[in-house]
């Protein structure tokens, strides 16, 4: 194989790798950034302690907006709160797991629900 063909193959392999890595890294970095924004919001503005928060997970959504953050609190493990963190941090929705519904958890009894007018 000639040097020119090896160079072309190396460039093509590099471009293919670049087209795979760039979107993957973009998604992973943004998930972490949005999760960090929500954690900062919860601890600094809403005054939750880190011990009260069970998990903060950035999610890439196929819907718009593309990045969401799902938060679970230790005192409500069967409820997931969804936050947007694009401009301002905003609690968008919540969901109660089937197990939570069986336990009798209802929207009126949620401890961390912050309804907003859209």
Q: Assess whether pLDDT exceeds 80 at residue 93.
A: yes
What does the mean pLDDT of the chain come to? 91
In this prediction, residue 8 carries a pLDDT of 87
Q: Report CA dihedral (108, 40, 85, 61) to the nearest 10 degrees.
A: -80
Element (H, E) at 59: strand 53-60
| pTM of the model as a whole | 0.83
Query: Which residue stretches of the chain are H helix?
Result: 3-40, 98-102
Q: How does pLDDT run across 43-88, given as a tens digit for each residue?
A: 999 999 999 999 999 999 888 788 999 999 999 999 999 999 888 8
Question: Can you tell me the mean pLDDT for 3-32?
Answer: 91
In this prediction, residue 116 carries a pLDDT of 72
């Amino acid at each position: 194989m000639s040097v020119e063909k090896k160079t072309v193959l190396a460039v093509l392999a590099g471009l293919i790798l670049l087209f795979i890595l760039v979107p993957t890294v973009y998604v992973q970095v943004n998930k972490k950034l949005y999760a960090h924004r929500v954690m900062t919001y919860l601890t600094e503005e809403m005054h939750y302690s880190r011990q009260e928060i069970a998990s903060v997970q950035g999610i890439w959504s196929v819907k718009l907006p593309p990045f969401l953050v799902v938060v679970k609190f230790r005192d409500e493990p069967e409820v997931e709160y969804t936050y947007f963190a694009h401009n301002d941090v905003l609690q968008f929705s919540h969901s109660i797991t089937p197990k939570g519904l069986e336990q009798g958890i209802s929207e009126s009894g949620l401890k961390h629900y912050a309804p907003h007018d859209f």
